[in-house]
A = this chain, B = another copy of it.
Amino acid sequence: AAGSAHANDSVMKNQSDPNNWASQLGNYAGQRYSPLNQITTDNVKNLQVAWTFSTGVLRGHEGGPIVIGDVMYIHTPFPNKVFALDLKNPGRILWKYESVQDPNVIPIMCCDTVNRGVAVADGKLFLAQADNTLVALDAASGKELWKAKNGDHTKGESLTAAPLVVKDKVFVGISGGEFGVRGHLTAYDTTSGKMLWRAFSTGPDADVKIDPAKTMMMGKPLGQKDLGVSTWPGDEWKRGGGTTWGWYTYDPELNLIYYGTGNPGSWNPTQRAVDKDRNKSDNKWSMTIFARDPDTGDAKWVYQKTPFDEWDFDGVNENILANINVNGQPRKVLVNFDRNGFAYTIDRATGELLVAQKYDPTVNWASEVDMTTGRPKVVDKYSTFANGEDKNSTAVCPAALGTKDQQPASFSPDTGLFYVPTNHICMDYEPFSVAYTAGQAYVGSTVSMYPTPNSHGGMGNFIAWDAAAGKIVWSRPERFAVWSGALTTKGGVAYYGTLEGYIIAVDMKDGKELWRFKTPSGIIGNINTYTQGGKQYIAVLSGVGGWAGIGLAAGLTQESGANAWHEAVHPGHRPGTVATAGLGAVGAHASLGEYTQLGGVLTVFHVPDQK
């Protein structure tokens, strides 16, 4: 195809073979869909564990196994071990990689020491280490090929996102929005490790790689220049966040990569207001979807979902590329389930906004998205800026954890629907003034979270979403936030994992549960599928943690741990202590420890042969 000339040939080849699970999101489009159909709605009830593998690392295991041919590659959170496993001899380690990292990076990782996985291309494996080192390994031997330094943890920078390879480039983001890090996406040469370009999320157009005459928003050129400076007070853009820790997708035909940027600087909006006027204070380009040319880094179009964030609704969630009918017309869209609770359907060539609807009806901070301006209509009552510093804005839905966070959704071309792991949590949010010190927390809000009031009592839902209509098709309540990545399959079965540790298979038609299994630990990894020896397998990394599980992962469920956390974030203040620790996530998930404990384990499932 014409498109593949723009892609990385080895990635395209590996992805096009459904026997592989070649990249973290399954394909460039980020669909997390597999054409495999040996496991069906009929026989999924017979799914059993084929084999298991402990990674030897505790704390949260995000991302999932990559399978290419007879080799599976898995990774761990800090210290970011990588294992190549022989699928012909399950669990046999072909090689292992681990480099020594400065453990001082641990405390500056906001939301657990997670890593969303490795990328494989051209016989190389790319690992983005917590300590900001991008490592290229020989995929056959595990031998180190090169290393590149993408950031500095003494300034609060770290890496958690999975790299993406397009052509001869590997793309890497940056984390540290809670430390006043200025976000960027960077392209490295896959062969040499040389930096090719870097596009910042804030600052002058040259840094952001925006051309106001060409870069589009809502289908039209931007016009205004240097919005990444002027929408901030003073030089606040220099600590303006907009980090890039989510998933990246790519359209080979349009030759565009897509990713989002995180929250602007501190969580205290007052500190980010120009002339105390929210209308002057979009804090661009935080909370923005970028479509960029992978060759040059130039921004083709931008769309800011939550201008002037007041709730930590990082806009980094994955942009899933799909071709669906909208208003009877076939459209090449990008669908984004944003933290802020709106699901956006956007023309991925132009950035034109087609649909923006709440994918949890209890979302209340905004009434709707203005389809002309693309801006949310903020409800005053829930405006933490309007309410002001040191005032507690209560019952804001969703909580800072968002209606969805890092957990990637899935799109099935068979049903034309999206299958979305979601959170169902609200919050109280009390901003406070905070001073910036490089390498220190730059949060500026006390947050407390709880299950959405007057709902089913649980903190999550797994939903099917019609992105053309902007409507929930069905919804399955869950006790905890659904923090694992979903999978859909040609077999008609969708899969997701729960924080208690269940992997659950449901009928894609109606969400009816077909099967469940209790894995060793809570699941925040993604469920992947592949074949080996002609047989379909389902594989997932358990290992509770991530932001939702930070209480367990970082020991914040005990008073002593929580106090230490508060001391680092707001010296001298211990508001609510355990409840508000871990950026507010600990209280909501406090009972998680009654269901599961830490531990990284790969579990591989199959339908056993008849005996």
Most buried by B among A52, A54, A90, A517: A54
Say whether, besides A49-B49, A608-B48, A54 and B93 are in contact (CB < 8 Å). no
**Min C-beta distance of A538 to chain B, whole Å:** 14
The reply on A51 being an interface residue by CB < 8 A is yes
Cβ of B46 and Cβ of A49 under 8 Å apart? Answer: no
CB nearest to A46 among chain B residues: B611
In contact, A520 and B96 (Cβ under 8 angstroms): no
Q: Shortest distance in angstroms between A168's beta carbon and chain B's nearest beta carbon?
A: 33
Given A56-B58, A517-B51, is A501 in contact with B91 using a C-beta cutoff of 8 Å? yes
Residue among B93, B521, B552, B601 making CB contact with A594, cutoff 8 Å: B93
Smallest beta-carbon distance A73→chain B, Å = 15
Q: Which residues of B contact A45 (CB under 8 A)?
A: 611
List of B residues within 8 angstroms of A600 by Cβ: 599
Q: Mark A156-197, 1 if CB is under 8 A from B, else 0.
A: 000000000000000000000000000000000000000000
CB distance B51 to A518 under 8 Å?
A: yes
In the complex, A412 has a CB within 8 A of chain B? no
User: Looking across the interface, which residue of chain B has its beta carbon closest to that of A594?
Assistant: B93
The answer, yes or no, to whether A598 is at the interface (CB within 8 Å) is yes
The one of B56, B83, B597 in contact with A56, judged by C-beta atoms closer than 8 angstroms, is B597
Residue A146 at the chain B interface, CB threshold 8 Å: no
Q: Does A423 contact B (CB under 8 A)?
A: no
Residues 570 to 611 of chain A near chain B (Cβ within 8 Å): 593-603, 608, 611
Please determine whether B518 and A520 come into contact, CB atoms closer than 8 angstroms.
no
A54: which of B593, B599, B608, B611 is its contact (CB, 8 Å)? Answer: B599
Report whether A93 and B595 are in contact in the complex, using a CB–CB cutoff of 8 Å: yes
Q: Across the interface, which residues of B come within 8 angstroms of A601, CB to CB?
A: 52, 54, 520, 599, 601
Tell me if A474 counts as interface (CB < 8 A to partner B).
Answer: no
Cβ of A60 to closest chain B Cβ, rounded Å: 12
Contacts of A501 in B (CB 8 A): 52, 54, 91
Known: A52-B601, A52-B603, A601-B54. A518 touches B91 (CB 8 A): yes
Report B-chain residues with C-beta under 8 Å of the C-beta of A594.
92-93
Cβ–Cβ < 8 Å partners of A445 in chain B: none
Distance in angstroms between the alpha carbons of A53 and B58 in the assembled complex:
13
Tell yes or no: A14 within 8 A of B by CB. no
Smallest Cβ-Cβ distance to A94: which chain B residue: B594
Q: Known contacts A601-B599, A611-B45; is A519 also within 8 Å of B92 by CB?
A: no
Is the C-beta of A55 less than 8 angstroms from some C-beta in chain B?
Answer: yes
Q: How far is the CB of A476 from chain B (nearest CB, A)?
A: 19
Contact residues in B for A91 (Cβ distance below 8 Å): 500-501, 518, 595-596
Q: Tell me if A542 is interfacial: C-beta within 8 Å of chain B.
A: yes
Bound Cα distance A93, B501 (Å): 13
Q: Are B96 and A593 in contact (CB under 8 A)?
A: yes
Q: How far is the CB of A332 from chain B (nearest CB, A)?
A: 42
Q: A45-B611, A611-B45 are in contact. Are A54 and B521 (CB under 8 A)?
A: yes
CA distance A60 to B93 in the complex (A): 20
Binary CB contact string for chain A from 61 to 99 against chain B (1 if under 8 A, 0 otherwise): 000000000000000000000010000001111001000
Q: Which of A83, A501, A521 has the most CB of B within 10 A?
A: A521
Distance A521 CA – B91 CA, assembled complex (angstroms)? 9
Instruction: Give every chain B residue within 8 A of A542 (Cβ-Cβ).
Output: 54
> Chain A 426-447, CB within 8 Å of chain B: the 1/0 string?
0000000000000000000000
Contacts A91-B501, A92-B594, A594-B92: A520 and B53 contacting too (C-beta < 8 A)? yes
Q: Which residues of B contact A597 (CB under 8 A)?
A: 53-56, 83, 93
Which residues of B are found within 8 Å of A92, using beta-carbon distances?
594-595
Nearest-neighbor residue (CB-CB) of A49 within chain B: B49
For the complex, what is the distance from the CA of A602 to the CA of B54, rounded to whole Å? Answer: 12
Distance between A72 CB and nearest chain B CB, rounded to angstroms: 13
Q: In whole Å, how far is A555's beta carbon from the nearest beta carbon of chain B?
A: 11
A501–B601 Cα distance when bound, in Å, is 13
A48 near B51: Cβ-Cβ < 8 Å:
no
Contact with B along A17-61 (1 / 0, CB 8 A): 000000000000000000000000000011011011111101000
Give the distance to chain B from A80, nearest Cβ to Cβ, in Å: 14
Nearest to A601 among chain B residues (CB) is B520
Quick one: which of B83, B90, B521, B608 contacts A518, CB cutoff 8 A? B90
1/0 contact string of A491-503 vs chain B (CB within 8 Å):
0000000001100
Q: Mark A312-353, 1 if CB is under 8 A from B, else 0.
A: 000000000000000000000000000000000000000000
24 CB < 8 A contacts A-B: A46-B611, A48-B48, A48-B608, A49-B52, A51-B517, A52-B501, A52-B519, A52-B601, A53-B596, A53-B597, A54-B520, A54-B596, A54-B597, A58-B58, A83-B597, A90-B518, A91-B595, A91-B596, A93-B593, A93-B595, A93-B597, A520-B602, A599-B599, A601-B601
Residues on A close to B: CB < 8 A? 45-46, 48-49, 51-56, 58, 83, 90-93, 96, 500-501, 517-521, 542-543, 552, 593-603, 608, 611
Closest 10 CB pairs of A and B: A54-B599, A56-B597, A54-B520, A49-B49, A56-B598, A54-B521, A51-B518, A52-B520, A48-B48, A520-B601
- Knowing that A49-B49, A56-B58, A93-B593 are A-B contacts, what are 14 other residue pairs whose CB atoms are under 8 Å apart, sorted by A's residue number? A45-B611, A48-B608, A52-B518, A52-B519, A52-B603, A53-B520, A54-B601, A56-B521, A58-B58, A91-B518, A91-B595, A93-B595, A599-B601, A601-B601
